Amino acid sequence: MRRSKTIAPSLTQNGRRKDSQNLHDPALYINRELSALDFQEEVLEEALDTSHPLMERLKLLCIVASNLDEFFMIRVAALKEQIEAGIVEPTPDRLSPHEQLRRIRERLLALYARHEQALLEDVLPALAAEGVRIVRYRELTRQQQEHFRQYFTSDVFPVLTPLILDPGHPFPRLLNRSINIAFNLSSRDDRSERSVGVLQLPPVLQRLLRVPDTEGYAFVLLEEVVQANADQLYCGWEIRDSYCFRVTRDAEIEIAEDEAEDLLREIAEQTRVRNWGADAVRLEVDAAMPAGLRQLLMRSLGLEPDDVYAHRRPMNLHDFLTLLKLDLRHLKDPPFTTRIPPEFQGDSSHVFQMLRSRDVLVHHPFDSFSNTVVKLLRTAAEDAAVVAIKIILYRTGGDSPVIEALKTAAMNGKSVTAVVELKARFDEENNIVWARQLEQAGVHVVYGVLGLKVHAKAMMIVRREEGSLRTYVHIGTGNYNQTTARIYTDFGYFTARPQVGQDIAQLFNVLTANARHVQTETVVLAPEHLGTHLLSLLNDVTEASANGKRCRISAKLNALVDPDIIRMLYRASMAGVQIRLVVRGICCLRPGIEGISDNIEVRSIVGRFLEHSRMIIIEHESERRVFLSSADWMPRNFYRRVELLFQVPDSTIADELSQVFEVYWRDTVKARILQPDGKRTRPDLSDGAPLLSAQHYFLDRIRRTTT
CA dist., res. 669 & res. 51, Å (int) = 11
CA distances to 38, 192, 368, 653 from 372, rounded to whole Å, are: 35, 71, 6, 17
Residue 259 DSSP code: T
Does residue 265 contact residue 191 with C-beta atoms inside 8 Å? no
Backbone angles phi, psi at 653, to 5 degrees: -70, -35
Q: Counting every residue, how long is the chain?
A: 707
- Whether 330 is a known active-site residue: answer no
CA dist., res. 175 & res. 601, Å (int) = 44
Residue 42: CB partners within 8 Å, gap ≥ 6?
604, 606, 672, 680
Residue 11: CB partners within 8 Å, gap ≥ 6?
17, 18
Instruction: Give the residues across from 489 on adjacent strands.
Output: 611
Per the omega criterion (within 30 degrees of 0), is the bond before 527 cis?
Answer: yes
User: Terminus-to-terminus CA distance in the chain, angstroms?
Assistant: 40
Does residue 577 contact residue 453 with C-beta atoms inside 8 Å? no
Q: How many CB atoms lie within 10 A of CB 121?
A: 10
CA distances to 102, 274, 278, 598, 674 from 297, rounded to whole Å, are: 21, 20, 16, 50, 40
CA dist., res. 227 & res. 233, Å (int) = 10
Backbone angles phi, psi at 201, to 5 degrees: -85, 115
Residue 282 DSSP code: E
For 134-150, b where at least 16 C-beta lie within 10 A, e where not — what string?
bbebeebeeebbebbee
- Report the phi/psi class of residue 177: left, alpha or beta, with left for phi > 0 and alpha for psi in -120 to 50: left
DSSP secondary structure letters along 421-486: -TTSTT-HHHHHHHHHHHHHTT-EEE--BTTBEE---EEEEEEEETTEEEEEEEEESS-S-TTGGG
Q: Which residue in 455, 474, 612, 620 is the catalytic one?
A: 455
> Dihedral, CA atoms, 304, 306, 312, 317, nearest 10 degrees?
-90
CA dist., res. 46 & res. 40, Å (int) = 10
Instruction: Give the residues across from 199 on adjacent strands.
Output: 181
Pairing of strands 217-221, 680-681: unpaired
Q: Among all residues, which ones are annotated catalytic?
A: 455
